[in-house]
Amino acid sequence: MNASVTGSVTRAEYCVIACAEAWRGDGEILASPMGAVPSAGARLARLTFAPDLLLTDGEATLVGPDGEAEGWLPYRRHLALVTGGRRHVMMGASQIDRFGNQNISCIGDWEQPSRQLLGVRGAPVNTLNNPVSYWIPRHSPRVFVERVDMICGVGHDSARAAGPSATRFHRIPRVVSDLGVFDFATPDRSMRLASVHPGVTVEAVREATGFPLTIPDDVPYTRDPSPTELALIREVVDPARTRDREVRA
């Protein structure tokens, strides 16, 4: 690890790098980041290793990393990208379990929940038609749970139970939290710790997770940003430091 870079990089900036990596190798695909850190990550990826990535303003316009309009994206074309698998979403999760099932709808029993959240929204269609990653800015046992209260985004076990129609295009590349990066590169497709952010211990991740994680013998640190990437994050992608409002120092 480059000590000179590490000493000046904030936790939020490591999270931006980790989110950007979700789109590596995707090619000409629509990035749909939800949140300040994923948005910064998608823009950084476009400026560096993913120049073909498509970015949207969330309404009807394709935009460049600087926010300038590049093209028109009407709703019908957006839906065509979704159903055709040519979009990679990075969503949030109020709850996520060991197989990647995600809940953003309610806490408690669906018929009489203790807390009403966003609702199912487009999560099922997202997870069955195009790649879906997740961004969780506050890693805790309340979010990383043994079993979600309601399945919105479809996890590996649920897709497997539903059969080939659900598994054909189902892919969850990664989960990024303020503590580390996770994937599902295990025989049963349960969650694995892929890296920890510098300053975070494996034990801290284990204690903040409400289910047993697969943990390799040697867990690496999330990679350092290059000096160029760090300059882009601070001067071009997010000069207003919105990333710091999502991730505590």
pLDDT in tens, 34-59: 999 999 999 999 999 999 999 988 77
The secondary structure element, H or E, covering residue 18 is: helix 11-20
Q: Residue 3 pLDDT > 60, yes or no?
A: no
| Pairing of β 95-96 and β 54-56 | unpaired
The tokens for 230 are 């760090």
Domain count, the chain: 1
Domain membership of residue 214 (yes or no) is yes
pLDDT in tens, 153-166: 999 999 999 999 99
Domain membership of residue 247 (yes or no) is no
pLDDT in tens, 161-183: 999 999 999 999 999 999 999 99
- Domain range for 220 is 3-240
Domain membership of residue 7 (yes or no) is yes
Domain membership of residue 41 (yes or no) is yes
Domain membership of residue 34 (yes or no) is yes
Domain membership of residue 81 (yes or no) is yes
Domain membership of residue 246 (yes or no) is no
Domain membership of residue 248 (yes or no) is no
List of residues 6+ apart from 191 with CB closer than 8 A: 98, 99, 100, 175, 182, 183, 184, 211, 213, 214
CATH number at residue 186: 3.40.1080.10
Q: What is the pLDDT of residue 119?
A: 79
pLDDT in tens, 182-205: 999 999 999 999 999 999 999 999
Q: Give pTM, 2 decimals.
A: 0.92
**E strand map for 114-247:** 115-116, 132-136, 175-177, 180-183, 192-196
